[in-house]
Chain A
Amino acid sequence: MAQSSGQSETMISLRNLRVSYGDREILHGIEFEVERGETLVILGGSGSGKSTLLRALVGLERPRSGEIWLRGKNLAAVSSQDMDEIRKKIGMSFQGGALFGSMTVGENVALPLREHTKLEDSTIEIILRLKLDQVGLAGFENYMPSQLSGGMKKRAAVARALAMDPEILFFDEPSAGLDPIIAAGVDQLILELKKAFHMTIIVVTHELASAFLIADRMVLIDKGNVVAIGTPDEMRSSTHPRVRQFLDRVAEPEVAQELDYLQMLTEITRPER
C-alpha cells in the first residue's frame, strides 16, 4: 500500500480500528492519519481508551478488526519478524519510565543497541553519551534508576527510546506525576526533539496546557471514539459539546454518573458522532 501523496507523507493511518479486552470493546472504530514530522496529541479522559489506542499503535494490543498502517505495514496482520523490524524503528516512552531496575541508566539506554546492532562497545558508549546529552542527563550513565527523580526517569526513558534513532516516537502521559516545572521541561524536550530531528511524535495525555504547547494536531478520544480532530486553534474554536466540556473542564453531571460509567464499560455499539 503506497503511503505517499504529494509533498506530505502519511506515517500512520488507522482504518476502523477496533480493540477489545475480552467481550468489552474499548475502541469502536478509530480512524485518523498522522503525517511525517508532525506532533499529534491524543487527548482523552481517564477510561476513554486513549492508552489502549497507544498500545495498539506500538503493537502491544492486537486489534479485533480494522487496520493500522505504519511504515507501509498493517500491524493488525504482520508476522512477528516484521513486527520486530517495525519496532526497531519506533521508540516508546512509558508513563512511569519502565526503566529496568536491575541495570544502570547507561545499560538501559544501551540495551536496544546491544541487542539489535553489532556495534563495538566503544561506539555504543559514544551513542549512549550522545543520547543522554540530548535529554539533559549527561554524566548519569552509572546511576541506578532508583536513584533518579521522576523527571529524570522520564528523560532517561526518552533517551532509551531514542537509542535506535526511531522515526516515530510515542509518549504515554509524559507529564503525569511530575510537578509543573519538571513537566514543562519534558514538554520542552519534546519540542526540541521535534525541531532537531523532524521526528513524528505521538503523545497521549490529558494535560491541556502541555497538549496545546506541543501539538501540531490533536485528536480527542471519548468512550472509544474520535470526537474531534484538528489543529489546536480548530480545537479551541470548536463548538462540539464534548470538546467544549473537555477544554473548559466541566465536570460530568452528578446524576447517574455510575450508570454512565457502566455504560461506558459495556458499550458495544458506536454512538453518533
Chain B
Amino acid sequence: MEITSQIGGSITDGLAYLGGLASLGGRAAYFTFVAPFRGKPIRLRGAISQAMQVGVRALPILSLITFFIGLILALQSAYELRRLGALNFVANAVAISMTRELGPLITAIVVIGRSGSAFAAEIGTMKVSEEIDALETMAIHPVDFLVTPKFLAMIVMLPCLTIWANSMGILGGALFGVTQADFTWTRYIQASLDALFLRDILTGLVKSVMFGITITAVGCYEGLCTGAGAEQVGRSTTRAVVVSIFLVILVDLVFTALFFFMTVR
C-alpha cells in the first residue's frame, strides 16, 4: 500500500510539474505570438541580447565540444567499419549520427549548462530579492518581461547552434578521415553531403526547437518557483539542469520514435 501511494504521489507531482511547465509555456507563447497583435510590441531588444548570450557566446565551447564528438564518432565507427573493410563509410556514419542525433543533443546539453542554469539563477535571484514582486506591483507581467525574450532567443538560436554543431562534428570526423582513411578534405565533405538527406537535417532541427522550448520552460519555471533565501537559488539551478537534461532526453526519445514510425512504412 505504502509503495502504491508513493508511486501515485510521484506521478501526481510529475504531472503537476508538467502542468506548470505547460502553463508557463502557454503564457510565454501568448506574449510572443498573440500579444504583439494586440498592441503590445514584442520585446525585440531583450530577445536580441538574450540571443547574444545564449547563442553567440556559446559558439567557442560548442565548437570545441562538437568537433571532439565528431572525432570520437569517427574513431568509434571506424573500429567496427575497419573490420568490415568499409572504412570509407566513416563519413556517412558521422554525418548521419551528428545531424540526426548528437548535434541537437550535445547542443542542448551545452545550452542547458550555460543558459538553462543561468535562467534559473537569474530569475531565482530576482525572486529572492523581491524584484519579481516589484515587477508585478508595477503592472509588468514577469512572464512577459523576463520569460518571453528568453523563449524567443532560444527558439531561434538553438536550431542555429545545432547547424553549427553539425558542421563542426563533420569537420571533426573529417580530421580522422583525412589522416587515417585516405580521404581528402573535399572528398570527405562531399561524401558527408551525399550521405545526408534533407530529412536528416530537418528532423534534427525540429528536435532542437523542442529542446529550446523545454530548456527555457524548465529554467524559467524553476527560477519562478524559487523559495525564500539564497540557498534556494542554488537548489533551483541544480534542479533546472537535472530536470532539463531528463526532459530533453525524453523529448528526444518521443520525437525520434515519431520520425522512425513516420518514415518506416
Which A positions have Cβ atoms within 8 angstroms of B? 55, 58-60, 83-85, 87-88, 90-92, 94-96, 98-101, 111-112, 115-116, 160, 164
Contacts and interface: CB of A to CB of B under 8 A. Distances in A.
B129 A112 contact: no
Counting contact residues on chain B (CB < 8 A from A), the size range is 10 to 19
Nearest to B131: A98
A145 to B, nearest CB: 10
A111 B138 contact: yes
A17 to B, nearest CB: 18
Q: Name the 5 nearest CB pairs between A and B, nearest first.
A: A87-B139, A98-B134, A98-B130, A84-B139, A92-B137
Nearest to B138: A112
B194 interface: no
Q: Which of B126, B131, B136, B137 has the most CB of A within 10 A?
A: B137
Interface in B42-62: none
B140 interface: yes
Q: Which of A90, A91, A98, A111 has the most CB of B within 10 A?
A: A98
B133 interface: yes
B139 to A, nearest CB: 4
Q: Which of B125, B126, B129, B139 has the most CB of A within 10 A?
A: B139
8 contacts: A92-B134, A98-B129, A98-B134, A101-B125, A101-B131, A112-B138, A160-B138, A164-B138
Contacts of B137: 58-60, 87, 90-92
Interface on chain B toward A: helix, strand, loop, or mixed SS?
helix
B130 A94 contact: yes
A173 to B, nearest CB: 11
B134 A94 contact: yes
A92 B126 CA distance: 16
Nearest to B145: A115
Contacts of B138: 87, 111-112, 115, 160, 164
A25 B139 CA distance: 27
Contact of B130 (A87, A90, A91, A96): A96
A143 B129 CA distance: 19
B42 to A, nearest CB: 14
Contacts of A98: 129-131, 133-134
Interface in B117-155: 125-126, 129-131, 133-134, 136-140
A171 to B, nearest CB: 12
B229 to A, nearest CB: 13
Contacts of A88: 139
Q: Which of B129, B131, B134 has the most CB of A within 10 A?
A: B134
A115 B140 contact: yes
Given A87-B137, A98-B134, A101-B131, 13 more contacts: A58-B137, A59-B136, A59-B137, A60-B136, A83-B139, A84-B139, A87-B139, A96-B130, A98-B129, A101-B129, A112-B138, A112-B139, A164-B138
B140 A112 contact: yes
A116 B134 CA distance: 15
A62 B126 CA distance: 21
A101 B128 CA distance: 13
A92 B134 CA distance: 8
Contacts of B126: 100
Contacts of A92: 134, 137
A88 B140 CA distance: 9
A85 B139 CA distance: 8
A85 B125 CA distance: 27
A38 B40 CA distance: 36
B139 A116 contact: yes
Interface in B92-133: 125-126, 129-131, 133
A100 B130 contact: no
B144 to A, nearest CB: 9
A90 B136 CA distance: 11
A96 to B, nearest CB: 6
A164 B139 CA distance: 11
Nearest to A87: B139
A95 B125 CA distance: 15
Nearest to B137: A92
Q: Which of B126, B129, B133, B138 has the most CB of A within 10 A?
A: B138
